[in-house]
A and B are shown apart, each in its own frame.
Chain A
Amino acid sequence: GDSVTQMEGPVTLSEEAFLTINCTYTATGYPSLFWYVQYPGEGLQLLLKATKADDKGSNKGFEATYRKETTSFHLEKGSVQVSDSAVYFCALTEGQKLVFGQGTRLTINP
């Protein structure tokens, strides 16, 4: 089946640093791609999405570009804040289901 691989965590950065969280995928078709964020003790919230190759999803200063040639959807933010500390999940659609990566825990220190 289809799969998603995220960079191993945890990731620790200082406030205002540049963030990249890598995500690569394996899929037989042309899935939609998503980034979700989970704050402690809560459910997941959609952060951004892209539905076709070369689409760029963006929200709250985060962005990710659907790269078919490298099967990647890396998450980036130019200047992180303490409030960005959370677990980030990359996901793709497989039929009517979502397939998730294992999550990357991000901690931002003031």
Chain B
Amino acid sequence: DGGITQSPKYLFRKEGQNVTLSCEQNLNHDAMYWYRQDPGQGLRLIYYSQIVNDFQKGDIAEGYSVSREKKESFPLTVTSAQKNPTAFYLCASSIGAGQVDEQYFGPGTRLTVT
């Protein structure tokens, strides 16, 4: 079955620690995205990548970092510089390669920082 996996589903960290969220896809998609969702709000774009070894900042990139060393993987690191990291994080992918198409979403990781 093709799809996007995110792990873990729930993650707890102490303030001041960096944490890395995993996102893997086996859809052979070029483009991948990270969104943040806060209660009662829409999705806000953190980072996106159209191709391996390249990525762009989204609307709320401060305090986050990403890498794209493999086509299948797009991990997100929430650094200690992110002032309010507790949120639901969603990874998505799309065909990319210049095509405008729908995005496919993973099940999400709920991060709680105390």
* A and B physically associate: yes
Which residues of chain A have a CB within 8 Å of any CB of chain B? 32, 34, 36, 41-46, 49, 89, 93, 96-98, 100-103
Which residues of chain B have a CB within 8 Å of any CB of chain A? 4, 6, 31, 33, 40-43, 45, 48, 50, 58, 90, 92, 94, 96, 98, 100-108, 110
A101 proximity list for chain B (CB < 8 A): 42
B105 pairs with A100, CB closer than 8 A: no
Task: Evaluate whether A43 and B100 lie within 8 angstroms (CB atoms) in the complex, with A97-B58, A102-B41 already known.
Answer: no
A36 proximity list for chain B (CB < 8 A): 105
Add 10 more A-B contacts to A43-B92, A102-B41 (CB < 8 A). A34-B102, A41-B108, A42-B108, A43-B4, A44-B43, A46-B103, A46-B104, A96-B48, A97-B33, A102-B40
B42 pairs with A89, CB closer than 8 A: yes
B100 proximity list for chain A (CB < 8 A): 32, 93, 96
How many angstroms from the CA of A34 to the CA of B98 in the assembled complex? 18
A85 to chain B, nearest CB (A): 16
How many angstroms from the CA of A101 to the CA of B37 in the assembled complex? 12
